């Protein structure tokens, strides 16, 4: 769940971003990265599309289900419907990971990252990400992980055990870390750029999922008070 309050901006006191001199910004690192990435490559484009599509798909379908309950009626119960959606999401994530890996393989490596010490650093990042993903799944269960609350299957209380006592949305950030570690292990500039796309897609998803999930539980509390 996301915090409801927004952090105040302090840019206005200095005239905002209008006073920044963008001609003095050093874009050398980004230029170097893009120099290794063929943005028009078909495998890279497929990976970007998969990354963008997945969270869009599950948010649209889950909200549609919350509004209509069509999947629950077709499947016979909300639990069966949630398991079906979860299975589809897992399949889509597998396809996304495959496209991600193929995009890395089709593009050149960054020589500065292609060494054993960096490989093990990437492996460590991958391990941390995997830890957050698996522990999030164990804490939430299958139903909780795959949007069970959108199907009307609500938890009695908020999950506060590890890793949710460390950060918000550990599943998303853990998944991002997995892609980051995988990219570092492959010394792949394309992978690093795609990881940034993963992070942005998840951040956009969190902006929509957090408030909507809070609204679902607020409705539950209001209904409980009326009884």
* pLDDT score, position 23: 53
Q: What is the DSSP letter of 8?
A: P
CB 198 within 8 A of CB 178: no
Q: What is the mean pLDDT of residues 215-223?
A: 78
CB 185 within 8 A of CB 125: no
pLDDT: which is higher, 95 or 214:
95
> CA-CA distance, 181 to 22, in Å (whole number)?
31
Look at residue 86 and tell me whether its pLDDT is greater than 50. Answer: yes
* pLDDT score, position 166: 94
Q: Is 83 exposed, middle or buried (0-12, 13-18, 19+ CB in 10 A)?
A: middle
129 is in an annotated binding site: yes
157 is in an annotated binding site: no
Q: What is the mean pLDDT of residues 27-38?
A: 69
Q: What is the model's pTM? A: 0.83
156 is in an annotated binding site: no
Look at residue 16 and tell me whether its pLDDT is greater than 90. Answer: no
Closest CA to 1 of 155, 131, 138, 175: 155
118 is in an annotated binding site: no
Q: What is the mean pLDDT of residues 162-178?
A: 96
144 is in an annotated binding site: no
Look at residue 173 and tell me whether its pLDDT is greater than 80. Answer: yes
Residue 218 — very low, low, confident or very high, per pLDDT cuts 50/70/90? Answer: confident
Q: Which residues contact 53 (CB under 8 A, 6 or more apart)?
A: 92
pLDDT cut 90: percent of the chain above it: 70
* pLDDT score, position 217: 83
């Amino acid at each position: 769940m996301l915090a409801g309050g927004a952090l105040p901006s302090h840019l206005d006191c200095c005239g905002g971003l209008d006073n920044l001199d963008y001609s003095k910004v050093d874009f050398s690192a980004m230029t170097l990265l893009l120099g290794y990435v063929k943005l028009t490559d078909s495998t890279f484009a497929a990976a970007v599309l998969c990354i963008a599509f997945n969270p869009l798909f599950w948010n649209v379908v889950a909200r549609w289900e919350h509004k209509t309950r069509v999947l629950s009626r077709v499947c016979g119960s909300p639990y069966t419907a949630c398991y079906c959606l979860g299975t589809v999401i897992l399949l889509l994530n597998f396809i996304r990971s495959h496209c991600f890996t193929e995009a890395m393989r089709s593009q050149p490596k960054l020589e500065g990252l292609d060494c054993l010490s960096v490989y093990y650093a990437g492996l460590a990042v991958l391990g941390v990400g995997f830890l957050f993903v698996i522990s999030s799944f164990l804490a939430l269960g299958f139903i909780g992980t795959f949007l069970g609350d959108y199907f009307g299957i609500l938890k009695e209380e908020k999950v506060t055990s590890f890793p949710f006592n460390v950060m918000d949305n550990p599943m998303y950030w853990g998944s991002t870390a997995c892609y980051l570690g995988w990219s570092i292990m492959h010394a792949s500039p394309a992978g690093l750029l795609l990881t940034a796309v993963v992070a942005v897609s998840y951040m956009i998803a969190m902006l929509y999922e957090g408030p909507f999930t809070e609204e679902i539980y607020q409705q539950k509390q209001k209904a409980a008070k009326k009884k």
